[in-house]
Structure 1
Amino acid sequence: MSQSTQPQPQSRGVAELLDTLVASEGTGAHPHVKSGALSSDPQAMRNLADAVHFLGLLHGRYPGVIDSAARKAVDPVSRRWMDEAAQAFAQERAFLTKIASAVGPVPSTQGQAQCEAAVAAQRKALDMLAESDRHGCAVGAAIALTLDWRTIRVLLDISAQRLDMNVPRCTLPDLRDTARLAGEVADGPATERAIAFGAQQLVAQHSGLWDLLAARAASRAHP
């Protein structure tokens, strides 16, 4: 009887760990996002345009984090969640591309080439993470992306609304299914650590992107 109840605390533990990580260190917690620079600032539209273009550099190409992670998913639970997430993120990529096209060119900012090179390096780091052979690592990255994307999507929606664009419904897997996946994949301490590592690295790359975007906004404000 006790054996049958053991996975449930572990499931809740992994899911809560990922939720806490994204809430405390993800996009919504970043000072650049919290400051209103992308929503209420006089330069908000320029800052949003910058964010849209650089998010496109990081996540706008196929295959992305979820697509690569999906290729490694062999068990039915992971496979089903990954297929749903990959399909949904393909729609998110298309939405991101439409906004980038409508919002116009990247705002003129010093050090453009260096910034693009930095994001290209981030993209390579995410590719390596999503293709990792360490069991649980790619899943952790994919889950963290779907969780953090919910905040990023709010910013994309703001951009689209200001451009009078239609805002499609986000169809990424719901939080309950995502929590269930995390718990079922985490079949032991090693896998749990790998999931946490993958998630932490994904969130760290997003944080690095917002650091870059904050520096670019400051550079434009004080040329």
Structure 2
Amino acid sequence: MVSHAALQIGTSNAWDALVRLGEADGSAAHPHMRRLVLGTPVQRTLSDAIHALCAIHGDHPGMIADVLTQAAQPPATEWLAAAAVGFAEERAYLAQLTAAVGPLPSTPGQALTETALVNERHALEMLARSERRGCATGAAAALVYDWAAIRGVLDAAAERFSVAVPATGFPHESVTAATIAELGAAPGCDRAILFGAQQLFAQHRGLWSLLEARASARGDL
């Protein structure tokens, strides 16, 4: 079900509606992610988050590049190409962090976690391959938006494990905002963009809830 925030598109453009959806349902709204960024988590809890993010988003070429290849919404090509370059840099940063944080912490129910991560990767792959015009673009835009919050976790781990923090290479937010607003103005695309975004946010919420449960199982909370 699309959340109430996603249903407000009639009062603004697609980017504004996506931002409201992200504020309500994105990573920054999840208590475990806030705990990782604003609190003082034990090292293995940060390590667990980095390994999970790498499992979901660390593979080449990455979700945004997959959306670009699918080309379900050709007018989005220029923005997607720039976003894919930016995300390749983020993926390299994530790989560096994964090496720095050490091995995955021992946690009860590891087999179930691995299954959940496989299912999440599959869900994101299906989103990226959607043939519904606007859906995959919306998911990619939501990933770019949500990554600003996720970057807080990466940077917290970088500080804890003495890794240099690189600048982000995504298109400027004003460019992304203007692009998604314009793409959403095409007939039938606004709802598809918001649906793709809503699905991306839901997958990220599920990931943070999984990590929260793992931290609790280890006695880290």
TM-score, normalising length from structure 2? Answer: 0.90
What's the counterpart of residue 40 of structure 1? 39
Cα offset, 1:11, TM superposition: 10
Q: What is the rounded CA distance, in whole Å, between the counterparts of 2:175 and 2:27 in structure 1?
A: 22
What's the counterpart of residue 30 of structure 1? 30
- Cα shift readout 1:63-105 (whole Å, capped 9, x = no counterpart): 3220111113477752211111101101101100110001001
Larger radius of gyration: 1
Q: What is the rounded CA distance, in whole Å, between the counterparts of 2:207 and 2:213 in structure 1?
A: 10
What's the counterpart of residue 17 of structure 1? 17
Decide whether the 8 Å contact of 1:11 with 1:186 is kept in 2. Answer: no
Q: Percent identity?
A: 44
What is the alpha-carbon root mean square deviation over aligned residues?
Answer: 2.1
The letter of the residue matching 1:170 is T
Q: What is the rounded CA distance, in whole Å, between the counterparts of 2:170 and 2:12 in structure 1?
A: 20
Question: Which of 53, 58, 61 is 1:60 aligned to?
Answer: 58
Q: Secondary structure at the match of 1:132?
A: coil
Decide whether the 8 Å contact of 2:86 with 2:169 is kept in 1. Answer: yes
Is residue 121 of structure 1 aligned with residue 132 of structure 2? no
Aligned length: 213
Bigger CA drift: 73-82 or 181-190?
73-82
Decide whether the 8 Å contact of 1:38 with 1:47 is kept in 2. Answer: no
The letter of the residue matching 1:201 is Q
Unaligned runs of 5+ in 1: 1-8
Q: What is the rounded CA distance, in whole Å, between the counterparts of 1:195 and 1:58 in structure 2?
A: 21
Q: What is the rounded CA distance, in whole Å, between the counterparts of 1:176 and 1:222 in structure 2?
A: 39
Bigger CA drift: 150-159 or 73-82?
73-82
- Cα shift readout 1:5-48 (whole Å, capped 9, x = no counterpart): xxxx97952111111111111111001123x24542352x2111
What's the counterpart of residue 192 of structure 2? 194
Structure 1 segments, 4+ long, off by >6 Å, are none
The letter of the residue matching 1:51 is A
Cα offset, 1:112, TM superposition: 0.8
Q: Secondary structure at the match of 2:188?
A: helix
What's the counterpart of residue 107 of structure 1? 105
What's the counterpart of residue 88 of structure 1? 86
Q: What is the rounded CA distance, in whole Å, between the counterparts of 1:208 and 1:60 in structure 2?
A: 17
Q: Secondary structure at the match of 1:148?
A: helix
Unaligned runs of 5+ in 2: 1-8
TM-score, normalising length from structure 1? Answer: 0.89
Q: What is the rounded CA distance, in whole Å, between the counterparts of 1:173 and 1:145 in structure 2?
A: 13
What's the counterpart of residue 67 of structure 2? 69
